[in-house]
Amino acid sequence: MKILYFAWIKKSLQISEETINPPKNIKNVKSLIQWMSLKSKKHKEVFLKIKSIRIAINHEVVDINKKIKKNDEIAFFPPFTGG
């Protein structure tokens, strides 16, 4: 599974992407975030701000309860505005 980070999330984690292999019991974005929060102190601090983070799976913006598959590309980014 490929994970992408953008903007302040990327800066906070000091990485723009990573490839992970979550356990089989990780079925949706919410459980993925809970699992990833255990990876490091930086991950935990970032995901504590989940209300300020948007999620996309394979380039489609989704909510935190969206199911995930092992070959998905998941992106975490701040809210965006138009104008």
Give per-residue pLDDT as tens, 8-33: 999 999 999 999 999 999 999 999 99
Q: Residue 9 — φ and ψ, nearest 5°? A: -70, -45
The pLDDT score that the predictor gives to residue 47 is 97
Residue 12's pLDDT is 97
The answer to the question of residue 82 being in a domain is no
Query: Would you say the pTM of this structure is higher than 0.75?
Result: yes
Q: Is residue 6 part of a domain?
A: yes
Q: Does a structural domain hold residue 71?
A: yes
Position 83 scores a pLDDT of 55
Residue 83 included in any domain: no
How far apart CA 64 and CA 83 sit, in angstroms, is 26
Looking at residue 82, its pLDDT comes to 61
Distance CA 75, CA 57 (A): 6
Burial 57-73 (b: 16+ CB within 10 A, else e): beeeebeeebebeeebe
pLDDT digits (tens, 9 = 90+) for 32-68: 999 999 999 999 999 999 999 999 999 999 999 999 9
Q: Give me the domain span that covers residue 35.
A: 2-77
Return the pLDDT at 80: 78
Q: Which two structure tokens, joined as six digits, stand for 56?
A: 């996309």
Q: Residue 58 belongs to a domain with what CATH number?
A: 3.10.20.30
Q: Is 31 domain-assigned? A: yes
Domain count, the chain: 1
